[in-house]
Amino acid sequence: MHDTRPWLDFSYEELTIELCKDGVKPVHAKALWRALHGQGLRDLKNCDSFLPPLQKWISDKTEQGWFVDDPEVVQETHSSDGLTRKYLLRLRDGQTIETVLMGYDGRHTVCVSTQVGCAMGCVFCATGQAGFTRQLRTGEILAQVLHVQRVLRKDGKRDLRNLVLMGMGEPLHNYDAVMKALATLADKRGCSLSRHRMTISTVGLVPAIHRMAAEKCPYNLAVSLHGSNESARAALIPVAKKWPLDQLIEACRVYDRSIGKSIFIEWTLIAGKNDTDEVAYELAALLKGINVHINLIPLNPTQGFSGHASGHHDAIRFQKILRAAGYPCTFRQRRGIDVGAGCGQLREVVKNRATGKAELREPRNPLKGIAIEP
Ligand code: SAH
Ligand code: SF4
């Protein structure tokens, strides 16, 4: 029977069960897990460090069609300062996703996609404009991290510190696959990334935020708010009608109480729409009593949205009002990043008519990009 299974989709416990099913000692799971998640091996068949029973088992499974997710790099774009690298990765079914590696002060952050496309339809977001194609599996989420770790290792670096789910897609709309991937990344026997350095960015899926709070998931939570009242928010985020603002704010309160960490509020600044003094005061009032850090993101222009990024002075004024109200408030913009690093503009991926190949469209952001760092 042909039974194709992705190795990276398994949890440690599931791998152990698979070994047992075939009469192989469960102790072998450790070496296999280390090879997959610690060393990021893509070809398990020729791994000399495996003991013969494990080697034989892997060889049988490979014959059956079990595979390691290993997306092909379709395109790689570097910022001129070399600090940001953006990868367009092709999955087994031909779909493409984007992963971004950012390095500052000797530390690296990876920005990962969780879906092909997105169903939430935010009007200013290229991913939302293009709609939803499919969920990513756990292994496809992990493969992005393993890819950048291989890149870093090649450069003699081992300092991947932060992970942000701010790429293509809405992570909480793919809850189980995402949580399984994060748990795998945190596993000390493999990748061993700190859960405290992982950030889940959501457009505000209220039931999922409550679930995270109840499950005491210790991740950083970033909530993309963009509007300070119901109608302003719904104009930018259609899905906001489903989960009204008061419910979202309440969910943030619950998360804050349950996890006890600052929530990042993501605010994409759009000229004349959500960057005025009135909006800043309304936002300050809305967030009262919640432990938040506000991140202001300059709007990156996209084909399907006619809005413009806020001017420098308006953006600074907006920030000042929030700071005066007592909120930590920073810009996500960093110098020298010119690869269109705004995750969420992932549909800058275009098809080259001549070659038929997917390509990254050149960035058009006059503000020279965004760095995403919790
Ligand atoms: N779906 C999740 C995570 C992916 S989007 C979310 O919405 O939070 C990551 C961030 O990029 C979000 O804060 C989103 O609002 C922002 N973003 C999307 N399109 C953008 C654009 N054109 N300019 C600036 N920020 C954008
Ligand atoms: Fe989806 Fe986030 Fe883009 Fe909204 S901003 S469409 S939730 S990826």
The residue among 343, 315, 345, 317 whose CA lies nearest residue 331 is 315
Q: Is residue 111 exposed (0-12), middle (13-18) or buried (19+ Cβ within 10 Å)? A: buried
Bridge partners (DSSP) of residue 109 are 102, 162
Q: Which of 18, 98, 140, 170 is catalytic?
A: 98
The C-alpha atoms of residue 269 and residue 189 are separated, in whole angstroms, by 41
- Which of 116, 164, 170, 266 for mutating ligand 1's site (highest number of atoms within 8 Å of CB)? 266
Q: What is the DSSP letter of 282?
A: H
Domains in the chain: boundaries:
7-64, 72-360
Bridge partners (DSSP) of residue 117 are 132
The C-alpha atoms of residue 52 and residue 293 are separated, in whole angstroms, by 52
pLDDT at residue number 338:
55
Task: From the options 3.20.20.70, 3.30.465.10, 3.60.15.10, 3.30.360.10, give the CATH code of 72-360.
Answer: 3.20.20.70
The C-alpha atoms of residue 311 and residue 367 are separated, in whole angstroms, by 10
Query: Does 333 have pLDDT greater than 70?
Result: no
Query: Does 201 have pLDDT greater than 90?
Result: yes
Helix (H) or strand (E) holding 284: helix 277-286
Helix (H) or strand (E) holding 293: strand 292-298
Nearest CA to ligand 2 atom 8: 169
Does the model's pTM come out above 0.85?
A: yes
Ligand 1 atom nearest to 167, measured from its CA: 4
35-87 per-position pLDDT tens digit: 999 999 999 987 888 999 999 999 999 999 999 999 999 999 988 888 899 99
pLDDT at residue number 373:
35
- Which of 168, 203, 305 for mutating ligand 2's site (highest number of atoms within 8 Å of CB)? 203
Q: Per-residue b/e over 204-224, b at no fewer than 16 CB within 10 Å?
A: bbbebbbebbeeebebbbbbb
Distance 74 CA to ligand 1 centre (A): 23
Question: Is 98 an active-site residue?
Answer: yes
The residue among 120, 91, 106, 134 whose CA lies nearest residue 205 is 120
